[in-house]
Amino acid sequence: MELHERIPNNVNLSGDKKLQRALEKWLPNYLEWWREMGPEGFQEKDVWLRTATSVEPEGWAHFDYVRMPDYRWGIFLKPAERDARVGFGDNAGQPAYQEVPGEFRNALRRIVVTQADTEPASVEQQRRLGQTCPSLYDLRNLFQVNVEEGRHLWAMVYLLHGYFGRDGRDEADALLERRSGNPDKPRILEAFNQPCDDWLNFFCFTMFTDRDGKYQLSALAESGFEPLARTCQFMLTEEAHHLFVGETGVGRVVKRTAQLMKESEDVRRLGGIPFEIIQRYINYWFSYSLDLFGGEISSNAADFFAAGLKGRYQEQKKYTEHLLVNDVYSLPVIEDGRIVEREVPMRNALNEVLRGEYVRDCERALERWNKYIADEGVSRVLSLPHRRFHRHVGEYAGHHFDVEGNLITAEEFEARKSEWLPTLEDREYVRSLMHPVTEPGKIANWIAPPASGIKGKPFEFEYVRL
């Protein structure tokens, strides 16, 4: 572990002078981007953050007060396994690729760039949220997510610089030039151009959109391109905390609303967020996040699997058969205005298979939230919309469905849209509740406090010194 270098790393950067120089050149541009687009108004404050100091499963994170621009962003890969092999596809069993396989160079670069682009994008989307934090605990969690997304950008830029030559360096520069939501130079994926300007959006984003990231990273963590696999494996350990922030964040809003419901059906009067609005936010972020998995029927997915580059979720742990040559997958598609089943080769359906894993994971969170409501003695159930609802990518894009997945007309959709998706008025109402609460131990009225603090500290701990 070389922690005291300008760029902390466990990839022996000092042994590769060319790469080290390239990354040291990129570093000031990164810091400039961070100062311009990172959390607004808190750059000089001490934040109680965890920093990766070791990739070992035990104690890889060190907690202390840090000013965010001084955060030790670094390049950490899970240690290499001896005799690593390609785990699936046509080359299963052959030695893992230590270099980018020539014929997949462009495709793989696209995968890395697309993943990389989401990291700074989310920091940009969230940069003003600190000013309306519901508590110091939440403020700290926001910043923890932000600095780690910054580190994930480093992890991906290392791959671009290290394995994609000149093109990779250009892509690394472009990652600092695009801006979330900017019509002239938008981020690559649509969910990452959506505004994230209130905390319900933030919690839904970290619940649903970061969770897509978990599944993409998990699929890439299986990759036969070993540097990518090892990078993603380490990123996943950090990502788990982001999902925790999202899932418990929405859960605490749900819990608070249920508590207020016991006082009055009119939750707004009490300054809470009504379940209808929470449901519409869920519908919105869930559907946008489903799009991130790509088309249901995809030759790219088939090619990546065949090449051993992108596997299924827990490919090695969950499955014994890794070739998928004769398997088929049946999925509903739209033909002549009707929903009909179509069989496709399994390899072409792997985006949909991954999406299925994601949906099951989200359902688990919904069950937990519904339990919070039931525990308060309130009868109300939140649910996920059908996966066909409000899609902009794949087989269902261009058609309209209700939240149960029934095919409806564009007019019907338009007429009922305000039942299903956040209205301008919903967003304004949620925004109207966003006032900063920064006294240690205090919390905004629209959200319940967390069950416990961070790393053994109480909720009252001064997580950010203002």
The size of the interface with Fe ion (CB under 5 A), counted in residues, is 6
In the bound complex, what is the minimum distance in angstroms from residue 151's beta carbon to Fe ion? 8
Q: Quote the least distance from Cβ 242 to Fe ion, whole Å.
A: 4
Tell me how far, at minimum, the Cβ of 343 lies from Fe ion, in Å. Answer: 35
Smallest separation, CB 208 to Fe ion (Å): 12
CA–CA distance, 338 with 53 (Å, rounded to integer)? 55
Residues 309, 111: Cα–Cα separation, whole Å: 10
Q: Is 117 in the site for Fe ion (CB under 5 A)?
A: no
Please tell me whether residue 212 binds Fe ion under the rule CB under 5 A. Answer: no
**Among 78, 230, 241, 242, contact with Fe ion (rule: CB under 5 A):** 242
Residues near 425 by Cβ (< 8 Å), separated by ≥ 6?
none
Q: Which stretch binds Fe ion (CB under 5 A): 65-73, 162-170, 233-241, 401-409?
A: 233-241
Among 210, 212, 247, 296, binds Fe ion (CB under 5 A): 210
- The residue among 7, 71, 74 whose CA lies nearest residue 234 is 74
Q: Residue 235 or 297: which CB sits closer to Fe ion?
A: 235
Question: Judged by CB under 5 A, does residue 152 bind Fe ion?
Answer: yes
* Nearest distance from C-beta of residue 239 to Fe ion, angstroms: 5
Within 344-403, the residues that bind Fe ion by CB under 5 A are none
Using the minimum distance from each CB to Fe ion, give the nearer residue, 147 or 433.
147
Shortest approach of Fe ion to residue 279 CB, angstroms? 24
210 vs 296, beta carbon nearer Fe ion: 210
- Give the range of 93-101, 192-200, 206-214, 366-374 binding Fe ion by CB under 5 A: 206-214
Q: Which residues bind Fe ion (CB under 5 A)?
A: 119, 149, 152, 210, 239, 242
